[in-house]
Structures are given as C-alpha cells and as structure tokens.
Structure 1
Amino acid sequence: MSDSKFPKMLDYEQLKQQFAELDQQDQLTSSAQRPADSNDEIVDFSSEKLQYEQDRALSFDQNKTEYQRPLLTGSRLRSYAFAVLTRKEYSKVDLIEKLSLYAQNREEVLTLVDELAQENYQSDQRVAEMTLRSQMRKGKGPNRIKLALRSKHLDKTLVQEDMREIDWYEQAYQLKVKKYGTDVAKEPKLKAKQIRFLQYRGFEMDAIMKAISRKIDDD
C-alpha cells in the first residue's frame, strides 16, 4: 500500500458532511423521478432488519453451549460447607438444601451435615436462640416468633423454656407506649386500632388487652 493511496490522517467531519450531501441529493433525485401519482409501495427496511436481528439472536441462543459449574464432592464440598457456615448460621434442613444445590450426591450432603452438627459447627439450638433474640429486638410477639422459627424449619420446643420466661404483657405494653403513648384509649376505633397493631405483631389477646388498658398509676 502506498501512503498516497491510503493517507494516514482522514478528515472525518468533512467525509460525514460529504456523505450527508450525497444522501440529500439521492433523496431529491429519487423524489423528482417518481411520478406524482405513483402508487409504488415504500418498503420499511427497518422492520425487516429488526426481524433479522431477532432471528439471529434466537439462533445464537439455541446453538450456544451453556457453561455448567462442576458439582462438588469430597473435600471441596466440605470446604464449601465451612465457608457457608462462616458467613451465616443455618438450620440443619436449610443447610442440606443449600449444599444440595452444588453437590454431586445428596447422600454425601446428608452425611456431611450430620457430622457438622455432631461437631457443633451447625446447631439448630443456636439458630433458634438467635432467631428468638432477633425477633424480640424487632418487637415481635410469641406468635410471630413461632412463624419465624417455622420458616427456618426449626422446632419451637428448642426455645420453649426461654419464651416462658419472657413477660409478653410487658413487651406488648412497651410496644404500645412507643406507638401510641401512655394514654389509655377510650374511643372504640382507637382501641380497635391498637388491638390490631399488637395482633399483627404476634401478641396474644390476653397480653394485648392488659397492655392497652394499663394506666401510668399501675406502674
């Protein structure tokens, strides 16, 4: 190639202007040559191009080979289990389901989780106690706590003794004061609103009625 035939520097703005002028001339020429009463159809190439691109993309998706991660087993599965438990506490059931997503053999997962539980790396008791404390910090009553335990596939008996020692009436009262103040509601609508609020939080009706009826003098 000679430098004269292929210059190193091109004036792109000038070229763009030239091509724009040529396009305008072609449009004027084609419109001038077409008769005024011409009924020729105007072909919409943009829609044909769009359909072509869609067909091409579909063909590519059908033909491409998806990469599949190799399933874990042995020491690699064990290392992954430790990594999972380092980040978060899991109930036994949830840990089995988590590891089974990446394991080659579910039976190996069951054996591994049993071993981890025996060595106290995994503990349903620990997860249940953490769940109880977390729910109480959020102002949840016993019914909502039981639901939270069930969602983690934990038996409520794991924290049954702890829950018996909690003064749920006091918990409901403190939540009511935080939301509505210390005044005892006299209007039926406001009283019903407070009842619904505490019911939604998971408190029993007995604790709710005591909480919304409690006066400052009763302290």
Structure 2
Amino acid sequence: MAAVLDTPLAIRRTAMDLLARREHGRVELTRKLRQRGAPPELIDPALDRLTEEGLLSESRYLESFVSYRARSGYGPLRIREELSQRGLQRADIEQALKECGFDWKEKLQETWERKFDGQLPRDMRERAQQGRFLSYRGYPLDLISRLLNGRSEDD
C-alpha cells in the first residue's frame, strides 16, 4: 500500500527513502514526490530542510550521475544533454564535467574497443556505423574522427 503524503513528515520520509537508494536532484525529487501525491506547497519546505541538513545535494547528484554515465561508456555531450533535461543549471553541469577527472579521449577509446573490438573501419560504411554509434554515445566529433583515422592527438 502506498504511503499517503499529506504531512511534512510523510513527505520527508518518502524523500529520504528515495535518497537512500541513490542521489537525486531537486527537480527529480520534486517530480517523484508529486507523482506520489504530495501537495506542492509541502514539497519545497521539506526539500529545503533536507538541503540544509546536507541530505539533498545537487553537487553530489551531479558527481554521481556524471561518474555513473561515464563508466557506462557515455561521453560528455550526452551526459550534458541528459542533465539539462533533468532541470539542472548549465553552469553547474559544466563545472561537474570539468571536475569529474575523466579523460574523455580514453573513455572514447574504451567504449570503441568494447563495441568494435578495436578494429578500425575497413570501408566508408563501417566508418559511418562506428561514427554514428560513438556520436550517439555523446563523444565530440573531432575525437571520433581522430580515433577512426587511427591518429593520436599528437599527429
């Protein structure tokens, strides 16, 4: 049976349950609480309190999301777009991508090797296929082009 979210305490408990599973952004947590029937006028004060207590943190959410998606083989362009769609501020997203510590060229190489066994394309069709896949994953076209041409950054 679903909990009735008609009191600040019930909203707080539900929010904390969601945060215990994984980090959430404020916009995402607000949406989930609304879907569960919480009145909008009770959500903001509860989330403000969780933020003050350090239980809800946009920066932790950004760090966690960027790390998870990068380890899953996604590039900075895709991660940036996904975070924008989740209602996060562009400046915060850019800061998180800068501070994440990932070498995107290295991540691109790993993703390409995992998908294509490190085989450079033999013809234009294969090149287009590999390029589309890596572009969809969110890697910059200049890095993709260098990789598929078999050139390093120094060339």
TM tier, smaller: 0.7 to 0.9
Structure 2: state its 5+ residue gaps.
none
C-alpha contact (below 8 Å) 1:176/1:212 kept by paired residues? no
* Paired-residue identity, %: 28
- Size of the aligned set, in residue pairs, is 149
TM-aligned CA deviation for residue 110 of structure 1:
1.0
Aligned-pair RMSD on alpha carbons? 2.6
Are positions 1:185 and 2:110 aligned together?
no
Amino acid at match of 2:58: D
C-alpha contact (below 8 Å) 1:182/1:215 kept by paired residues? no
Provide the rounded CA distance (Å) in 1 between the counterparts of 2:17 and 2:43.
15
The partner residue of 2:26 within 92, 102, 108 is 92
Amino acid at match of 1:78: R
Aligned 1:1-219 pairs, distance under 5 A:
70-100=4-34, 101-103=36-38, 105-164=39-98, 165-214=101-150
Find the structure with the greater CA-based Rg. 1
Change over 3 Å in CA distance of 1:123–1:194 after alignment to 2: same
TM-aligned CA deviation for residue 161 of structure 1:
3.8
- Which runs of structure 1 show a deviation greater than 4 angstroms over 4 or more consecutive aligned residues? 68-71
Provide the rounded CA distance (Å) in 2 between the counterparts of 1:117 and 1:200.
34
TM-score normalised by L of structure 1:
0.59
Task: Compare relative contact order (CA 8 Å, sep 6+) and give the higher one, 1 or 2.
Answer: 2
Per-residue Cα deviation, 1:161-191 (whole angstroms, up to 9, x for no partner): 4534533222222222222234433421121
Once the two structures are overlaid, the 10-residue window that deviates more, 85-94 or 189-198, is 85-94
Amino acid at match of 1:170: E
TM-score normalised by L of structure 2:
0.79
TM-aligned CA deviation for residue 139 of structure 1:
0.5
Provide the rounded CA distance (Å) in 2 between the counterparts of 1:71 and 1:183.
54
Partner SS, residue 77 of structure 1: helix
